């Protein structure tokens, strides 16, 4: 039996599973798809118990040690990255194989990063609230052509963003701990050192995975290297930034604008100054959230379950 135990109440996610997985759609197997959220771990266990394959969307409730011990599905296939939604150590201990399908929202994240940068260069964080409050305060912004964009990280998202930026006439430089010069050349980016990138870029966008080496990569000293009026975008991981130092920098008024989709505390508390500063634009961790990304995640997981493909799938436990 194949079970999708919790689609979080999302009709979009449930419809994608039914279309790609079940024999009633274009899929070839019978699967039980629960659209509504499970009412706690006990309900999640009841839905999963007896499943040969548990297919799980990566934003769903965490399949922790307690749930896995009680439910004992034959295997788990995650539509999306498994790291945050499955207790991998418990799965290994219990002998439950886990596969996932990471990296399939790269275009969505790259496009959202561009959206945030566009909003900053046209100073929308200042303009939109004023209009909502009944005001009328037009301001001068900038065009993207000719802007020096520094990318920290040149993986899938960074590559796509670089291509978009070059197509719009931006001058792109890039840094990562293991930067590939050929990869830079392929997307029209110029490799440079981190300090140089921070000091010379009109806008900086973060696209690194979080690791122990990258934890708080940009602290107070690094943020101090940014030019007055520089723009900063982060759709990657909040841990790449010293968020306390960033709040200080924002409140000091030295940067031209900051746009964030990830935070040290999520949901972002209502009283956080990042919500209310006129040069800051915040979005609720939605960079990946497009219909197309959901479909790619689900299609890859369903294809693996139905033995149609193993591409874009990795075993993590």
266 is catalytic: yes
DSSP state of 78: E
Please indicate, yes or no, whether residues 244 and 311 belong to a single structural domain of this protein.
no
Please indicate, yes or no, whether residues 179 and 270 belong to a single structural domain of this protein.
yes
Please indicate, yes or no, whether residues 119 and 99 belong to a single structural domain of this protein.
no
Please indicate, yes or no, whether residues 113 and 209 belong to a single structural domain of this protein.
yes
Q: What is the pLDDT of residue 51?
A: 96
Please indicate, yes or no, whether residues 180 and 239 belong to a single structural domain of this protein.
yes
Chunked in runs of 10, what are the mean pLDDT values of the chain (317 residues)? 95 95 67 95 97 97 97 98 96 98 97 98 96 95 97 97 98 94 95 97 96 84 97 97 97 97 97 96 98 97 89 93
Q: What is the pLDDT of residue 163?
A: 97
| Full residue range of the structural domain in which residue 179 is found | 106-282
Please indicate, yes or no, whether residues 81 and 142 belong to a single structural domain of this protein.
no
Residues 267-316 have pLDDT tens digits of 999 999 999 999 999 999 999 999 999 999 999 999 999 988 778 999 99
Q: Which of 49, 216, 254, 285 is catalytic?
A: 285
CB atoms within 10 A of CB 305: 23
Please indicate, yes or no, whether residues 272 and 305 belong to a single structural domain of this protein.
no
Q: What is the pLDDT of residue 28?
A: 62
285 is catalytic: yes
Q: What is the pLDDT of residue 16?
A: 96
Please indicate, yes or no, whether residues 221 and 113 belong to a single structural domain of this protein.
yes
Please indicate, yes or no, whether residues 134 and 184 belong to a single structural domain of this protein.
yes
Q: Which of 46, 49, 216, 237 is catalytic?
A: 237
Please indicate, yes or no, whether residues 7 and 38 belong to a single structural domain of this protein.
yes
CA angle (256, 260, 264) in 5-degree steps: 125
Please indicate, yes or no, whether residues 122 and 247 belong to a single structural domain of this protein.
yes
Q: Which of 266, 275, 292, 308 is catalytic?
A: 266
Please indicate, yes or no, whether residues 220 and 271 belong to a single structural domain of this protein.
yes
203-206 β-sheet, strand order: 190-191, 171-175, 148-152, 203-206, 231-234, 257-260, 280-282
**Number of domains observed in the structure of the chain:** 2
309: domain CATH number is 3.40.50.720
99 is catalytic: no
């Amino acid at each position: 039996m194949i079970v999708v135990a919790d689609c979080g109440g999302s009709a979009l996610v449930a419809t994608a599973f039914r279309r790609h997985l079940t024999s009633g759609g274009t899929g070839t197997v019978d699967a039980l798809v629960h659209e509504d959220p499970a009412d706690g771990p006990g309900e999640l266990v009841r839905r999963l118990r007896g499943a040969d394959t548990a297919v799980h969307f990566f934003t769903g409730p965490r399949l922790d040690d307690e749930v896995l011990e009680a439910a004992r599905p034959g295997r788990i296939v995650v539509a999306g990255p498994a790291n945050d939604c499955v207790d991998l150590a418990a799965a290994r201990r219990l002998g439950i194989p886990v596969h996932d399908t990471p990296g399939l929202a790269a275009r969505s994240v790259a496009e959202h990063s561009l959206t945030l940068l566009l909003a900053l260069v046209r100073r929308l964080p200042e303009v939109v609230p004023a209009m909502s409050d009944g005001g009328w305060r037009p301001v001068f912004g900038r065009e993207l052509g000719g802007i020096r964009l520094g990318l920290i990280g040149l993986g899938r998202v960074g590559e796509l963003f670089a291509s978009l930026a070059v197509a719009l006439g931006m001058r792109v430089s890039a840094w990562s701990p293991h930067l590939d010069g050929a990869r830079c050349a392929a997307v029209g980016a110029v490799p440079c050192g981190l300090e140089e990138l921070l000091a010379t870029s009109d806008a900086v966008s973060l696209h690194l995975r979080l690791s122990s080496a990258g934890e708080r990569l940009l602290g107070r000293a690094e943020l101090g290297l940014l030019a007055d009026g520089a723009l900063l975008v982060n759709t990657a991981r909040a841990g790449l930034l010293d968020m306390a130092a960033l709040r200080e920098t924002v409140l000091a008024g030295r940067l031209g604008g900051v746009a964030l989709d990830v935070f040290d505390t999520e949901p972002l508390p209502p009283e956080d100054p990042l919500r209310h500063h006129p040069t800051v634009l915040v979005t609720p961790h939605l960079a990946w959230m497009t219909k197309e990304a959901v479909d790619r995640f689900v299609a890859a997981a369903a294809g693996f379950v139905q033995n149609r493909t193993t591409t874009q799938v990795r075993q993590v436990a």
